[in-house]
Every structure is written in structure tokens, then in C-alpha cells.
Structure 1
């Protein structure tokens, strides 16, 4: 995976921390501060229907552009949900591969069930199959925050997150509202409001500290994507990213790039 942070030393150390994934256990979620699974029953045009959905918070996201270095400020973060999608794929693929090998083996070549492997990565060793690296769950994202503070405006929530997560102090009045949209329409239907913020190196009060919210248990790395590489970055499928990144880069190209007279490599 490409490194966009510009600080190979810090990036390497943070990646090593992110790679420490083990003791994976999937258990039922009986309670959560962020998600609540529900089922709705309703009638539509005389037909009885039902649908499972998840109640969660709305959110704000911020496209941050640094006018000093002409680059976008993103965050790179390990996402357990993304990782588990890849983990489950690996489980299924390895199970199919094992079954195919057993089908191809002659009956006398198959090991007795009682000999199943204390020397392999079997259940007795606590590792049923090989697991993907933690990098399989790392994504590039905009600065995002749940709307979990009803006493604050969306602009104030966005401002706080830009400061805490990315280390830039931007007045709420300098945030430009781009639009809002629904995300996860099949599961949550939550609304996300997208803002645009221009910053400079003078606004930076500590990117190194801002990117890692230890008190919230997060491992977040602040990264910079040069403006002239933004559109290639957006459409490169080998770089895992959210739809918000792609949409906001396209918006910037259409609305802001002419102001800076810099090619965005479209």
C-alpha cells in the first residue's frame, strides 16, 4: 500500500502498532452506545413487509485543504468492520481450499481426525486459520465525527474534530457547508453533512498529537495527498477509501481547483 503521509518514520511505527491484530473473537452485540439493531413491520400498498435496520448517529465530515502545501488532509485508520469483511472472506476461501484438498486426497492419505494437528495452526493452538494482516482493515477517510453532542451546532462539532483528529485550529465560521446526504441507506439511513475547510501551516497546532486519539482507543494517522495527485488517488481502486473522499475530491476539482490554477490530473 502506498504511503502518503510524508513522514516515513512515524508512519512505520504507527503501522507496526496497527499490525498487532490477534485473539479475534466474534460475539453477539448485546448493547452499544453507537448502534441499536431494530426491525420495523409496515404495510405498503396493502402488502405487509418488514425490514431490519440499525439506529445510529448522524455525522459530519470535513474536506480539509492545506493552502500552504496545496494538499488534502486525510486520516488513515484501522476499521474493524472493514477488517472483518476481509477476515470472513479469508475464512471462507481457506475452508474451501482445505475441502478441495481433502476431496483430492486418497482415503488412505487423509490424516485421522484424532491426529488433527497440534503442530499446525489448528484449533488446539488457538488459530484456526491464517488471518489477513491488519492493513486489510485500514482505510483513507475524511475527518469525520458522529453528531453526538446535541448542545453544539454541526459546525462546532466539525471544528472540534478537525482540531482533535488532524491538529488544525479552524474557526467554525470558516467552515463551508457543501451538502448533506444519506449513507448506509439499506442499514442505517443516517445523514452525513459535508464541510470544506481551508487551512494553512499557521493553523497547525500539532498534527502529530492530533492524529492519535488514545483516550478514545483510536489509532489514526494524519496523511497528506498532494492536489496534483488527488484524482488519481480518488480513482485508484488499490487504495482503500470511503466514498466521501472520492466525492469531495471531485467536488473540489469542479468548484475550487480553478482558483489555485493547478492541474488535478483528470
Structure 2
């Protein structure tokens, strides 16, 4: 998927929809300090393995902060989503994201919780919970690609050799969660 970005610019943000900028002030060992903080929501991410195709199902999408660094902005990631629906458990959000982004309906019982960890610890300290699920073609219910506003999410499939190569391919913008999940998968007995 090739996209064209024009007129990219940064503007001050005083109140955001998903992030909230603050200046944290505190005393550490008797010394007054401050730190710029972004409060943002926690999230889930899911490593998906298609058993019949023997492929990992990942997503590629445009991320403006990455664009600032590499002038491409396209990342390869795990299927993921914010925990922004109080009425849903993290597992329910994970299943919803799998269907929206990748087009597979996965029951909560099919998720395996791997771990949780903090991301962006220097500015937001958000927590991400990582899951694993195996897919079959019987679970395939749609094209994926996201919901309104996310239409440009591309569903990718990686073979085992392609996934191994992806782990060390610095030309591809990859997320730490993806790298951790693949390391977990490849280290299983």
C-alpha cells in the first residue's frame, strides 16, 4: 500500500482526544523536578497465527509520529487497540480489534494472555497487554482494514521465514510489541 502525504505540519495541542499533555512537578530526594508527560490510554495487542496457512497475520498502517522520523510513516504491527470502552474487558476489546482490523471473529476463550508491559515509558507510560490467538479460515468473516477513520489498515501475512527476517529488518518500522511477540513465538518448545 502506497500513500501520499502532503502539507504535514505540527501544531500545539492543548487538549487531545486520545492523549493529554501535562507538566508533572514533583520532589525527588529533596530536589524539585519536572517532566513532560502525555497521559494516554492502555491497550491490547494480539499476535495472530493462521494455522491452516501457517502465516502470521499482521497489519500495516500509517503512523504520523513515525512519519516525523522516517518520512514514510508506515509501520508493521500486531493487531491492536485502545482500552477505551469501559463496558468491555481487555479480552473483548482484543476480539473486537481482531475482527475490525483483520477480519476474523475470534472467541474470547481462544485468546492466550502472554504478558503486559509499559510502552513509551519516557513520555506516557501506557500499559499494553499482549495476547496470542490461532486463526482458522472458518473464523474469517470480513476483509478487515479497520473501522471508519482506519480504512487504510492493510492486513498482511508473513510466513515463518519472512517473520524471522522482519525481526532484524531495520528498514521496516516495527513495534517493540511485535518483536517481543515474535521472540516469544519462536522460543516456544
Q: Mark yes or no: TM-score above 0.5.
A: yes
> Which residue is equivalent to 1:69?
53
> Which residue is equivalent to 1:151?
87
Structure 1 residue ranges, 4+ long, deviating more than 6 angstroms after superposition: none
Asked whether the equivalents of residues 73 and 222 of structure 1 are also in contact (C-alpha less than 8 Å), the reply is: yes
Q: Which structure has the larger Rg?
A: 1
In 1: Cα distance, 2:14 partner to 2:152 partner: 25
> Which residue is equivalent to 1:46?
30
Structure with greater helix share of residues: 1
In 2: Cα distance, 1:148 partner to 1:36 partner: 14
> Which residue is equivalent to 2:66?
82
> Which residue is equivalent to 1:211?
145
> Which residue is equivalent to 2:44?
60
- Partner SS for 1:192: strand
Asked whether the equivalents of residues 235 and 246 of structure 1 are also in contact (C-alpha less than 8 Å), the reply is: no
2:78 corresponds to 1:142 = yes
2:182 corresponds to 1:249 = yes
Structure with greater strand share of residues: 2
Give how far 1:203 is off: 0.9
What are structure 1's unaligned runs of at least 5 residues? 1-13, 87-131, 259-266
Asked whether the equivalents of residues 159 and 172 of structure 1 are also in contact (C-alpha less than 8 Å), the reply is: yes
TM-score of the two chains, using structure 1 as the length reference: 0.68
Asked whether the equivalents of residues 15 and 21 of structure 2 are also in contact (C-alpha less than 8 Å), the reply is: no
- State the aligned residue count: 189
TM-score of the two chains, using structure 2 as the length reference: 0.95
